Chains A and B, each alone.
Chain A
Amino acid sequence: MMSRQAGYTALRWAAGLAMPVALIAAMQLTAGQEDMPRYVVAPTDIAATLWQLLISGDLVDDALASMFRSYSGFVLGAVLGVAIGLLSAVWRQAQAFFDPLVSTLYPVPKIALLPVIITWLGFGDVSKIALISLAVFFPTFINTLYGARGTPVNLVWAARNMGASRVYIFWHVVLPAALPQIFTGLRSGLALSFVVLFATEMVGSHNGLGDMIIRAEEAMRYDWMYASILTIGLLGFLSDRALLAIRRKLLANKYPGEAR
């Protein structure tokens, strides 16, 4: 019985790894051959380049510049989104202003403002951070508002019945009730922040991972290109996992089911 279980798990792992392994093997075998284009680079070469760039510190500088932009933009947009979202949930005038505005502009790609924001704020970090925080604001705001508004009314009544003040209800009933959905908003905001970061760095920048990808492609150093693509992908992935870990920590003792 036990061994059958183990065989089952092994089969599952093998199936999951089949496609990535096939892709890596195909690149490794065909790279450098006569009739293959130059941009097919052996994964071993990419790994060697990645290691070299890490040691020399070139990659680290660009990665740090990108991380600074994306995290500052994310934090700014997230704080604004949560704050204005909560404000709109408790103050009707704020909701009357922000809710229709955000719902209308939600499907509009904020990235269209990139050239405009560059003319306002220049090519430096400020314009990039501003655009990233704008993109993060929208999903965070909407999810915070709907999360707070979705607080079970029974809980509010119960708290009020026991003599809780409005402020106490806000901090101890509404906010915890909204938290799961706030994190849903933050998570889609985080994913967006990396897309916008990449766009701003590709269009006008002299450092950062997006710029490095472009520089490498222009110099036909395809191994650099893959190394920086891997880095930006890894950063996006790890940031998402970090957010999930925070979420689990914050929600663990409140929503055993939600936190997973």
Chain B
Amino acid sequence: MRQRIFSAARRMLATLYPLAVLAAIWELLSRSGWVSPRLMPPLEKIFSALLADLANGELIFHTGVSFTRAISGFGLAVVVGIVLGVLMARVRWFEWMFEPIFAFGYPVPKIALYPVFILLLGFGSSSKIALIALECTFPIAVNTYFGIRAVSARLVWSAQNMGAGSTRIFFKVLLPAALPSIMSGLRVALPLSMVIVVITEMIGESSGLGYYITYASASFMYASSYAGVIAIALVGFIMDRTLVLIRDRLLFWEPSGAAQASKLSY
């Protein structure tokens, strides 16, 4: 037991030490006077700004707004992406119609369509959520498609042989076998949702963390702006770790997802 606590503590220290080194360098630069302390405020100032904005609820409000947008767009993309991916893998004419769109659209920066989304849906949350959903649908649909297509035919045959119907085969064979690939698609898409939400909030918006940091640095409140960066970092990090936890729960037969952090596909 004690040994386990020790090894867990050591692992945590090993993870934290590079961050601590960076923080020390930051503090040194900020105190040395080589860099203007307004550009690199000492950590203590950043944390007091963080606490102050947490206490008056401003940071919590903007974090809530950004998080809601990101997770709504992502949730939409999960549903649409998995359904499209499954249909592409199983229905031939559907594959003919949609596979070229995903193959050609994958490397295209979808964010360039943001002005069109604003024209269609207006400023505010709906255009942002729609853009996040569009951007996240691509990796999810493509990974679902390849995941299901890669399921060994032998598995399907043996299930058929034992008398399983097509619905049963889909839910009991195809979907579980494709789940690792689907999950790695989700893992690619989730950080993307945060990237898109922050970008869209930087452009003509009055709420959300993207707006918060832009506004703070435009009004020379650099400590607050760094506090916003920390908030975004924390949200992105916690979302990713939550997804990894869910993945490891669902895919208990696969090795942990943290190890293959970015095995991107396609």
C-alpha gap A12/B100 in the complex (Å): 10
Given contacts A112-B209, A112-B228, A114-B202, are A107 and B214 in contact (CB under 8 A)? no
Which residues of chain A (154-178) have a CB below 8 Å from chain B? none
Q: Is the CB of A203 within 8 A of B262?
A: no
Residues of B within 8 A of A15 (CB): 93, 96-97
Binding stretch for chain B, among A28-36, A233-241, A246-254: A233-241
C-alpha gap A97/B97 in the complex (Å): 47
**Nearest chain B residue, comparing its CB with the CB of A192:** B195
Q: Is the CB of B233 within 8 A of A229?
A: no
- B15 at the A interface (CB under 8 A): yes
Show the binding face of A for B, using Cβ within 8 Å.
11-12, 15-16, 18-20, 37, 39, 96-98, 100-101, 103-109, 111-116, 118-120, 139, 142-143, 146, 184-185, 187-188, 190-192, 194-195, 197-199, 202-203, 209-210, 213-214, 217, 222, 225, 228-229, 232-233, 236-237, 239-241
- B190 at the A interface (CB under 8 A): yes
Residues of B within 8 A of A198 (CB): 109, 111-112, 199
- B232 at the A interface (CB under 8 A): yes
Q: Is the CB of B18 within 8 A of A214?
A: no
Q: Is the CB of B260 within 8 A of A146?
A: yes
Q: Chain B 212-223, CB within 8 Å of chain A: the 1/0 string?
A: 011011100010
Residues of A within 8 A of B236 (CB): 107-109
Residues of A within 8 A of B195 (CB): 109, 111, 192, 195
- B8 at the A interface (CB under 8 A): no
Q: Is the CB of B112 within 8 A of A233?
A: yes
With both chains docked as a complex, state the minimum distance between the C-beta of B112 and any C-beta of chain A, in angstroms.
5
C-alpha gap A194/B109 in the complex (Å): 6
Q: Is the CB of A97 within 8 A of B18?
A: yes
Residues of B within 8 A of A240 (CB): 106-107
Nearest 6 A-B pairs (CB), nearest first? Answer: A240-B107, A107-B240, A15-B96, A115-B217, A194-B109, A101-B18
Residues of A within 8 A of B109 (CB): 191, 194-195, 197-198, 232-233, 236
**Nearest chain A residue, comparing its CB with the CB of B113:** A229
Question: Considering residues A15, A115, A217, which has the most beta carbons from chain B within 10 angstroms of its beta carbon?
Answer: A115
**Nearest chain B residue, comparing its CB with the CB of A142:** B262
Which residues of chain B (222-256) have a CB below 8 Å from chain A? 222, 225-226, 228-229, 232-233, 236-237, 239-240
**Nearest chain B residue, comparing its CB with the CB of A181:** B263
Main secondary structure of the interface of A (DSSP, over half): helix
Q: Is the CB of A18 within 8 A of B213?
A: no
- B52 at the A interface (CB under 8 A): no
- B198 at the A interface (CB under 8 A): yes
- B155 at the A interface (CB under 8 A): no
Which residues of chain B (178-207) have a CB below 8 Å from chain A? 188, 190-191, 194-196, 198-199, 202-203
Which residues of chain B (142-193) have a CB below 8 Å from chain A? 188, 190-191
C-alpha gap A210/B199 in the complex (Å): 12
Q: Is the CB of A199 within 8 A of B111?
A: yes
Which residues of chain B (17-62) have a CB below 8 Å from chain A? 17-19, 21-22, 39
Show the binding face of B for A, using Cβ within 8 Å.
14-19, 21-22, 39, 93, 96-101, 104, 106-109, 111-116, 118-119, 188, 190-191, 194-196, 198-199, 202-203, 209-210, 213-214, 216-218, 222, 225-226, 228-229, 232-233, 236-237, 239-240, 258, 260-264
Question: Considering residues B108, B218, B232, B240, which has the most beta carbons from chain A within 10 angstroms of its beta carbon?
Answer: B108
C-alpha gap A119/B18 in the complex (Å): 25
With both chains docked as a complex, state the minimum distance between the C-beta of A136 and any C-beta of chain B, in angstroms.
13
Q: Is the CB of B112 within 8 A of A229?
A: yes
C-alpha gap A209/B260 in the complex (Å): 36
Given contacts A16-B97, A108-B236, A109-B236, are A236 and B108 in contact (CB under 8 A)? yes
A-B contacts, 5 of them at CB < 8 A, read A109-B195, A198-B111, A213-B112, A233-B108, A240-B107
Given contacts A97-B21, A104-B19, A199-B202, are A191 and B100 in contact (CB under 8 A)? no
C-alpha gap A213/B118 in the complex (Å): 12
Instruction: Among B14, B119, B226, B260, point to the contact of A37 (Cβ < 8 A).
Output: B119
**Nearest chain A residue, comparing its CB with the CB of B216:** A115
**Nearest chain B residue, comparing its CB with the CB of A98:** B18
Residues of B within 8 A of A197 (CB): 109
Q: Is the CB of A100 within 8 A of B14?
A: yes
Q: Is the CB of A101 within 8 A of B97?
A: no
Question: Considering residues A15, A142, A192, A241, which has the most beta carbons from chain B within 10 angstroms of its beta carbon?
Answer: A15
